[in-house]
Amino acid sequence: MPPPTPQTFPRFPSLSFTFPPFLLSLSLLLLLTLSSSTPTPTPTPPPSFYSILRSHGLPIGLIPKSITNFTMDPTTGRFEVHLDRACNAKFENQVHYDFNVTGTLSFGQIGELFGVSAQELFLWFPVKNIRVDVPSSGLIYFDVGGVVSKQFSLSLFETPPDCVDVGPTEDARILDSLLEIESQSGKLKRVLDERDVLRAVS
């Protein structure tokens, strides 16, 4: 039998080290015994975002079918849902979803929502908050643009909707509308702030 040839790893010249083969097989054996002695954990399927919505008393139809992945921090309720692309779903109004939707879940409510907007009179407004009554009244409320609360029937949100890719042109139009609304409400806020300053001065 030939003497064991040391194995070298020439791809890492600066780190080149030698491993006698018997040591290698010993560590392999050790690894194998270790892994076979620890019981293999039975993988529980991770909860879907829809079951998380349900457990917060919210209808699953709020988020379209096209979820690719999500993260959820159970202590803070902060979540991030990724869709396969930005898209529009039709309830009573058109609702636009960014590919990235974030917010904070609490029972019966999604706060600090980003990435969802609703169409009103051909303009797009950010939906900043969604809530249902506890116990349920069969209604759901969308805080649209931080100004108006729109109510819809919960029955519109029973199943995750199909979400249609509207293409880059429409996407850009929606974004323009949102930015316009943001700047308008910024102006409005500045006017109100100035009025408060004037009132404080006088």
Ligand X SMILES: *[C@@H]1O[C@H](CO)[C@@H](O)[C@H](O)[C@H]1NC(C)=O
Binding site for ligand X (CB under 6 A): 68-69, 71, 80, 82, 100, 102, 114
Cα dihedral 62, 123, 115, 158, rounded to 10, equals 0
* Nearest alpha carbon to residue 56 among 11, 4, 111, 93: 111
CB of 70 to ligand X, least distance (A): 8
Nearer of residues 71 and 106 to ligand X, judged by Cβ:
71
As measured in angstroms, the least distance from the Cβ of 99 to ligand X is 7
State in angstroms the smallest separation of the CB of 145 from ligand X.
Answer: 17
Q: Facing residues of 97 across strands? A: 87, 116
> Cβ of residue 181: shortest distance to ligand X, in angstroms?
17
The number of beta carbons lying within 10 Å of the beta carbon of residue 116 is: 21
Q: Which of 160, 194, 182 is nearest to 64 (CA)?
A: 160
Cα(167)–Cα(7) distance, integer angstroms: 56
Q: Are strands 123-132 and 109-120 parallel, antiparallel or unpaired?
A: antiparallel
